[in-house]
C-alpha cells in the first residue's frame, strides 16, 4: 500500500514524505546453488513529517526502526520506494548529490562514546561539518560558531580545546548534539539519543533537545524503545514490528486508545515506578520471530492473543480508523487498553470496579472485558 498517511497535520507539503520505502539485506552468497535469504529490514513503510514536527518511532530491537532512520538519512541505499525531502526524492541521489542536502539533514546517535573521534578536540568535532561543507569564512568565524553551539547545549566555550574522554556520558551526548546543530538542520534523526545515559541525566538531554527544537523549529524523527520518553517528546508516534509500521497516531490517541494489539502489549510490558500499581499482566509469548521467516499474513499473529484464522491470509494494510489514526490490524471489535495512566495515583483514588475505563480497571488488577 503506497497511500501516504492521512496523519500529516498540515495541508502544506510535508518536510519529509516517505513512500513505500524498502530496505532489504541479502544473506548468503548464492554461490554453488546456496540459497540467498532476504531480510526485509524495512518493508513498504510510508509516513510523512511536517516541518517542526516530532515523530516517534518505537518497536523492539529487530523491528527495523534504526534501519529506517539510517535509510531516511541516506546513510544506506534504499532497496525501493521514495524519500521526498523538501519535495525532492533523495532515495536515488549519490554522494555528490546528497552533499548540498547534508547540512539540513543531521543525526545524533545512541552511544556518545563511540560516535566521537577520541583523537579530535571537542572544537574540531563540532567544527567538522562546517569544514566539510566549507561553511566557515575564517578560522575566527568557525571558532565563534563552535563556541555558540557549545553554549546552546549547556557546555562552555572553553571545552572546545578538550578531548571527548574528559567528559561524562551526558556531556558527550551534548557534544554530539552541538555537532548536529551547528549546521542548523531542518530534520534531525535521533537514534536512541538518551538510552546510554544515566537516568538522572536522561531528563536533562530530553529537555535540551526539546528546547533546541522549539527555538529552531526543526523536525525530529525520534527513535527509541522507551515509550515514556517518546510520549513526552513526540507529537505523533509510529509503532514498528518486523520492518513494517503497524500503527501510527498522534501521541495522546495512541497512548489512550491504541488500535493494534502489539501496541497494547508494549504498554502492558512497561514497568511503572510505583509499587502500589498492580496491573493485570498481559505477557506477550515468545520473542520477535526471525526476520528471515516472518509468519504469513500479519507478522504479529504468532504472538497475538486476538489472532483469527483470517490474520494468516494476507498482510493487513495500514488503514485509517479516523482522526489521522492508522492501524494494520484487521479487527475493529477489540477494546484495547492504553498506557497505564493511573500509575501515580493510589489505588484507593481510582474508580471502583466496573466504573473506570480499561486502564484504570487494569491498574486495579481487574479483568478488562473485550466486547465481542
Phi and psi torsions of 147, nearest 5°: -60, -40
Of 272 and 366, the one with the shorter C-beta distance to other proteins is 272
199: contact with other proteins by CB under 8 A:
yes
Q: How far is the CB of 269 from other proteins (least distance, A)?
A: 4
206: contact with other proteins by CB under 8 A:
yes
Of 105 and 358, the one with the shorter C-beta distance to other proteins is 358
267: contact with other proteins by CB under 8 A:
yes
Q: C-alpha distances in angstroms, 213 versus 54, 181, 206, 207?
A: 9, 10, 11, 10
151: contact with other proteins by CB under 8 A:
no
Distance of CA 138 to the CA centre of its chain: 37
Choosing from 251, 259, 331, 364, the residue that interacts with other proteins (CB under 8 A) is 251
256: contact with other proteins by CB under 8 A:
yes
C-alpha torsion sign, points 339, 341, 347, 353: negative
276: contact with other proteins by CB under 8 A:
yes
Choosing from 168, 217, 322, 369, the residue that interacts with other proteins (CB under 8 A) is 168
What one-character DSSP code corresponds to residue 119?
T
Burial (0-12, 13-18, 19+ Cβ within 10 Å), 86: middle
Q: How far is the CB of 211 from other proteins (least distance, A)?
A: 8
239: contact with other proteins by CB under 8 A:
no
Residues that bind other proteins (rule: CB under 8 A) add up to a total of 53
Task: Please list every residue from 44 through 103 that binds other proteins, using CB under 8 A.
Answer: 60-61
Burial (0-12, 13-18, 19+ Cβ within 10 Å), 229: buried
**For the chain, where are the E strands, in sequence order?**
16-27, 37-49, 54-58, 80-85, 88-89, 105-108, 187-191, 219-223, 236-241, 244-250, 319-320, 326-327
Q: How far is the CB of 299 from other proteins (least distance, A)?
A: 14
Residues of this chain that interact with other proteins (CB under 8 A) are: 60-61, 168-171, 198-204, 206-207, 210-211, 225, 227-229, 231-233, 251-252, 255-256, 265-277, 281, 283-284, 287-288, 338-344
Amino acid at each position: 500500500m503506497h497511500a501516504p498517511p492521512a496523519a500529516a497535520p498540515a495541508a502544506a507539503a510535508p518536510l519529509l514524505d516517505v513512500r513505500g520505502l524498502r530496505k532489504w539485506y541479502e544473506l548468503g552468497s548464492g554461490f554453488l546453488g546456496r540459497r540467498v535469504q532476504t531480510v526485509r529490514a524495512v518493508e513498504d513503510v510510508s509516513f510523512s513529517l511536517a516541518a517542526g514536527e516530532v515523530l516517534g518511532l518505537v518497536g523492539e530491537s529487530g523491528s527495523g526502526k534504526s534501519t529506517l532512520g539510517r535509510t531516511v538519512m541516506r546513510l544506506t541505499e534504499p532497496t525501493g520506494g521514495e524519500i521526498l525531502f523538501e519535495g525532492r526524492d533523495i532515495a536515488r541521489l549519490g554522494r555528490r548529490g546528497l552533499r548540498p542536502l547534508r547540512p539540513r539533514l543531521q543525526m545524533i546517535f545512541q552511544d556518545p562514546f563511540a560516535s566521537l573521534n577520541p583523537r579530535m578536540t571537542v572544537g574540531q568535532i563540532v567544527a567538522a561539518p562546517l569544514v566539510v561543507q566549507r561553511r566557515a569564512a575564517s578560522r575566527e568565524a568557525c571558532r565563534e560558531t563552535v563556541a555558540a553551539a557549545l553554549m546552546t547545549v549547556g557546555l562552555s566555550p572553553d571545552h572546545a580545546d578538550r578531548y571527548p574522554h574528559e567528559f561524562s556520558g551526558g556531556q558527550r551526548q551534548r557534544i554530539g548534539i552541538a555537532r548536529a546543530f551547528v549546521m542548523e538542520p531542518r530534520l534531525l534523526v535521533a537514534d536512541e539519543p538518551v538510552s546510554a545515559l544515566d537516568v538522572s541525566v536522561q531528563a536533562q538531554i530530553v529537555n535540551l533537545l526539546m528546547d533546541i527544537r522549539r527555538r529552531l523549529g526543526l523536525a525530529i524523527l525520534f527513535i527509541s524503545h522507551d515509550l515514556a520518553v517518546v510520549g513526552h517528546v513526540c507529537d505523533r508516534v509510529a509503532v514498528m514490528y518486523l520492518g513494517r509500521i503497524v500503527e501510527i497516531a498522534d501521541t495522546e490517541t495512541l497512548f489512550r486508545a491504541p488500535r493494534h494489539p502489539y501496541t497494547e502489549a508494549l504498554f502492558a510490558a512497561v514497568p511503572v515506578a510505583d509499587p502500589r500499581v498492580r496491573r493485570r499482566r498481559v505477557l506477550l509469548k515468545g520473542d520477535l520471530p526471525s526476520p528471515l521467516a516472518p509468519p504469513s499474513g500479519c507478522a504479529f499473529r504468532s504472538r497475538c492473543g486476538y489472532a483469527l484464522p483470517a490474520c494468516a491470509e494476507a498482510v493487513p494494510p495500514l488503514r485509517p480508523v479516523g482522526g489521522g489514526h492508522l492501524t494494520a490490524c484487521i479487527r475493529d471489535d477489540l477494546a484495547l487498553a492504553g498506557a497505564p495512566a493511573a500509575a501515580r495515583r493510589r489505588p484507593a483514588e481510582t474508580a471502583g470496579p466496573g466504573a473506570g475505563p480499561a486502564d484504570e480497571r487494569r491498574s486495579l488488577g481487574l479483568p478488562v472485558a473485550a466486547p465481542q
